[in-house]
Amino acid sequence: MKKEYWIILIVYITMQLSGVIGVPLVAYIGTLLGKSMQEMEIISVTSWIVISFTITLIITLVLLRKEMKDHTLMRNSASAASSITWAIGGVFLAFFAQTIAANIESLIGIEMGSENTQQIMQLIQASPIIIIVSSVIGPILEEIVFRKILFGSLHKRMNFFLAALISSVIFALAHAEIEHILLYSAMGFTFAFLYVKTKRIIVPIFAHVAMNTFVVILQLNKDNIENWLKDMEKIQSFIGGFL
């Protein structure tokens, strides 16, 4: 594995653990600026998430700048048109894989719904800027770390299935929801497939960003959607009374 890749992995892991120090530090700085500790309880968490993810993304892109400029790596990549097609189709493919995995989990008694998603939504409601992290920065970093670096390195040593399985399970475990390991692994497999098929990391990045953004929009409009469905049921019942 390249030296740059190892540095990115270390920076990413450090970022994931940095809240232990970063959140209290931001909270302390806030109190020095006249804020109460109660006011800083949520602000410190959301602020550190934005700061840490942004810094990690900048470092990652700087370390990959030479590789991104290396046109020899693009020779075997899919064409722009094919990549766009796979990127858009990949969104539906990811949702399809997620739906199958969710149904399997439901059959074996695992409750639907993600605690991780709910926590993110609570942070978004407290500070909307978190949407940038959950929908853009987070997916970009995850695709670089779990697909480009982990999966890519493993795929050089083993076949697609084993490389995708190992990297996808690690991807699932990183989300700290063991009960939904099948769900996250299915997504990991899908994004790994898109990466192999096009040899462009931007393709799974696009699919991942689009998927996360759709979920956020859906969650933010959950009440409106439920009310709309209820209205539709009433209309159908009303029409049904004349048939």
Amino acid making up residue 234: K
Task: Output the six-digit token pair for 45.
Answer: 């968490």
**Percent helix, percent strand, percent coil in the chain, to nearest 5:** 85, 0, 15
Catalytic residue among 39, 67, 71, 175: 175
C-alpha to C-alpha distance for 78 and 81, rounded to whole angstroms:
8
Catalytic residue among 67, 105, 142, 180: 142
Known catalytic residue at 142: yes
Task: Output the six-digit token pair for 65.
Answer: 């700048």
Q: How many Cβ atoms are within 10 Å of 67's Cβ, its own excluded? A: 12
C-alpha to C-alpha distance for 117 and 101, rounded to whole angstroms:
17
Residue in this structure with the two tokens 């993304």, named with its chain if needed: 57
**Contact assessment for residue 26 and residue 40, using Cβ atoms and an 8 Å cutoff:** yes
Known catalytic residue at 175: yes
What is the CA angle 207-189-220, rounded to 5?
45
Task: Output the six-digit token pair for 228.
Answer: 């709309």
DSSP 73: G
C-alpha to C-alpha distance for 100 and 68, rounded to whole angstroms:
35
**Contact assessment for residue 189 and residue 161, using Cβ atoms and an 8 Å cutoff:** no
Q: Quick one: which of 63, 65, 70, 51 has its CA closest to 7? A: 63
Kindly list the catalytic residues.
142, 175
